[in-house]
């Protein structure tokens, strides 16, 4: 039975015991001149029974503390993800939280970590006010408030902040048994993973766009996938970049490789390196955006995996974000470990994928599709690079297809004859994981879930890594129309009407 239900039942029993005491108190007979000794025994017996029942009820309640959070945001209850991490503990963890008594956020975090400690006997929680216990804070080297020290098996991790999810991520990092390295492929104009910008965009003479118009433009400098990298590091992964054109093989310690929107075509040797890496049991997240031209050996590799990347863009009049039909929104997903517990995501300019005949030993699973009203239209590809200086002719894109759902991402796993089991995720868009869109809706959840599945950690509790974002307000078209009508039309008209009424009455 769920522990919260058990604690609630114990609380109900405690409340029933108090009500029974109150009822018995009203039903006790009045003592009218009984013998003195008998009266004293009756009075003291009643008091002792009442105290005994009260003590036992409170003892039971203290061991089964029930918590009720009536706020709409559940702001005084640990997140389900943090509770899942604590309940999954298999090793003892000591948590020491240093808070400031005058700080409301610090007091809330203190309350939350104490509640987390009651979810598992393996989590030993201690909350400390460094103003009252300065020696203890000095022992741990704490010089600022809202710091958490996590200890287990001689290891120590320090977490700053008042977010219980950050503390849960710290517990996962503390208990990680091996170093998991995620390698970002670079060398073909991919979004750089080591930047700290908060916006990814391309500019043209006509517009500022992430959709079809951006496919033939050069990516601006100082933008990229820095937020994705920092989120992976918050989950405890090591990250580094590799330039495949300079390698004979992808390093074996790369648990997974990530390609975020390459702009120029791979060299044939790079496609072979990627093929060899997968045959040896590697994992790859391939996010090939609009306009990227696949080198023939890379296209053959994807075909061997059972998927083809189409040179088109998906237009979805039914499910889209804001007013842009090319910004496809996904409210429903196919059943897969990657998409479990993922909410609404959106993809600014995404190309469809074609599922090819199932190859032997390989399982191809679509992750999500566009709506039944969506359709595709051709996109002009970026010029392909060649090993020689000759211009490689690019065939004209195929005509747009009929309306219907289109596969937008696939998860592939299996093994070829004589190879080790591999995993691959192919997505027809990379902007959703870029700095511009990574923190919004559930884009970050989806991108991180893909990486977790690739490195075979999909069974671990999923905790969202906090990503700092500038304050902004996102409105739908209908909301903007209502605001415009109210502020620009109804409000001025109301002033005119009220003024006319006042003038008429004073006339």
Q: What is the DSSP string of 84-117?
A: HHHHT--S-EEEEEE--TT-HHHHHHHHHHHHHH
Strands 407-414 and 362-369: antiparallel
Q: CA-CA distance, 400 to 410, in Å (whole number)? A: 21
Listed as own residue / partner, the contacts of 2-8 with beta carbons closer than 8 Å and 24 or more positions apart are: 3/119, 4/66, 4/67, 6/64, 7/64, 7/65, 7/66, 7/67, 8/66
Through-space distance between the first and last CA atoms of the chain, rounded to whole angstroms: 77
438 CA to centre of own chain: 9
Q: CA-CA distance, 181 to 183, in Å (whole number)? A: 6
Name the token pair of 237: 């992964």
Question: What does the DSSP 8-state code read for residue 163?
Answer: -
* pLDDT score for 48: 84
* pLDDT score for 397: 47
* pLDDT score for 365: 95
Mean pLDDT by 10 residues, the chain (507 residues): 65 76 70 65 78 74 66 79 89 92 89 88 92 88 89 89 88 86 94 69 46 46 79 90 93 95 93 95 94 92 94 92 88 93 91 90 94 89 48 48 89 90 96 90 93 90 68 63 87 91 87
Buried b or exposed e, range 435-471, using 16+ CB within 10 angstroms: bbbbbbbbbbbbbbbbbbbbbebbebbbbbbebeeee
* pLDDT score for 205: 39
Name the token pair of 457: 């950690």
Among the listed residues 185, 180, 155, the one whose alpha carbon sits nearest the alpha carbon of residue 170: 155
* pLDDT score for 64: 62
pTM value is 0.72
Q: CA-CA distance, 230 to 210, in Å (whole number)? A: 23
Name the token pair of 500: 């006319």
Dihedral sign, CA of 37, 43, 46, 52? negative
Q: CB–CB of 66/8 below 8 Å?
A: yes
Name the token pair of 415: 């093994």
Q: CB–CB of 265/293 below 8 Å?
A: yes
* pLDDT score for 467: 66
Q: What are phi and psi of 383, to 5 degrees?
A: -55, 135
Q: CB–CB of 463/169 below 8 Å?
A: yes
Q: CA-CA distance, 334 to 365, in Å (whole number)? A: 8
Task: Determine the 3-state secondary structure of 367 from DSSP.
Answer: strand
Q: What are phi and psi of 3, to 5 degrees?
A: -65, -35
């Amino acid at each position: 039975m769920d522990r919260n239900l058990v604690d609630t039942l114990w609380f109900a029993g405690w409340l029933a015991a108090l009500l029974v005491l109150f009822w018995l108190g009203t039903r006790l007979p009045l003592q009218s001149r009984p013998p003195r000794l008998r009266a004293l025994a009756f009075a003291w017996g009643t008091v002792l029974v009442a105290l005994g029942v009260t003590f036992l009820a409170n003892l039971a309640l203290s061991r089964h503390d029930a918590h009720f959070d009536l706020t709409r945001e559940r702001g005084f209850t640990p997140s389900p993800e943090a509770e899942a991490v604590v309940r999954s503990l298999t090793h003892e963890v000591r948590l020491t939280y240093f808070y400031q008594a005058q700080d409301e956020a610090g007091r809330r975090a203190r309350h939350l970590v104490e509640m987390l400690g009651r979810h598992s006997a393996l989590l030993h929680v201690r909350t400390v006010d460094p103003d009252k216990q300065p020696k203890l804070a000095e022992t741990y080297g704490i010089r600022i408030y809202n710091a958490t020290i996590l200890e287990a098996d001689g290891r120590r991790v320090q977490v700053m902040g008042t977010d219980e999810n950050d503390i849960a991520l710290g517990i996962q990092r503390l208990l990680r048994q091996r170093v998991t390295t995620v390698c970002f492929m670079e060398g073909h104009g991919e979004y750089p993973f080591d930047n700290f910008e908060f916006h990814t965009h391309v500019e043209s003479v006509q517009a500022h766009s992430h959709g079809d118009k951006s496919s033939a433009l050069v990516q601006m400098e100082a933008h990229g996938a820095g937020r994705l990298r920092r989120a992976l590091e918050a989950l405890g992964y090591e990250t580094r970049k590799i330039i495949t054109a300079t390698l004979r093989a992808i390093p074996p310690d790369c648990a997974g490789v990530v390609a975020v929107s390459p702009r120029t075509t791979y060299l044939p040797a790079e496609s072979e390196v990627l093929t060899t890496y997968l045959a040896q049991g590697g994992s790859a997240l391939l996010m090939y955006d609009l306009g990227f031209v696949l080198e023939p050996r890379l296209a053959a590799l994807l075909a061997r995996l059972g998927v083809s990347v189409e040179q088109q863009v998906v237009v979805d009049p039914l499910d889209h974000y804001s007013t842009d039909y090319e910004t496809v929104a996904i409210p429903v997903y196919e059943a897969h470990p990657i998409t479990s517990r993922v909410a609404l995501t959106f993809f600014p300019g995404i190309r469809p994928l074609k599922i090819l005949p199932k190859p032997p030993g390989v399982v191809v699973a679509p992750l999500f599709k566009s709506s039944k009203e969506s359709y595709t239209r051709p996109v002009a590809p970026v010029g392909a690079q060649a090993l020689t200086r000759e211009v490689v002719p690019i065939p004209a894109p195929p005509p747009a297809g009929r309306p219907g759902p289109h596969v937008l991402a696939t998860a592939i796993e299996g093994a070829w004859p004589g190879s080790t089991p591999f995993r691959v995720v192919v997505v027809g868009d990379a902007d959703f994981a870029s700095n511009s869109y990574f923190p919004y809706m559930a884009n970050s959840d989806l991108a991180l879930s893909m990486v977790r599945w690739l490195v075979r950690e999909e069974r671990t509790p999923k905790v969202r890594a906090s990503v700092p974002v500038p304050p902004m307000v996102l409105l739908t078209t209908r909301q903007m129309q209502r605001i415009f009508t109210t502020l620009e039309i109804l409000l001025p008209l109301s002033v005119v009407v009220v003024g006319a009424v006042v003038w008429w009455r004073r006339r």
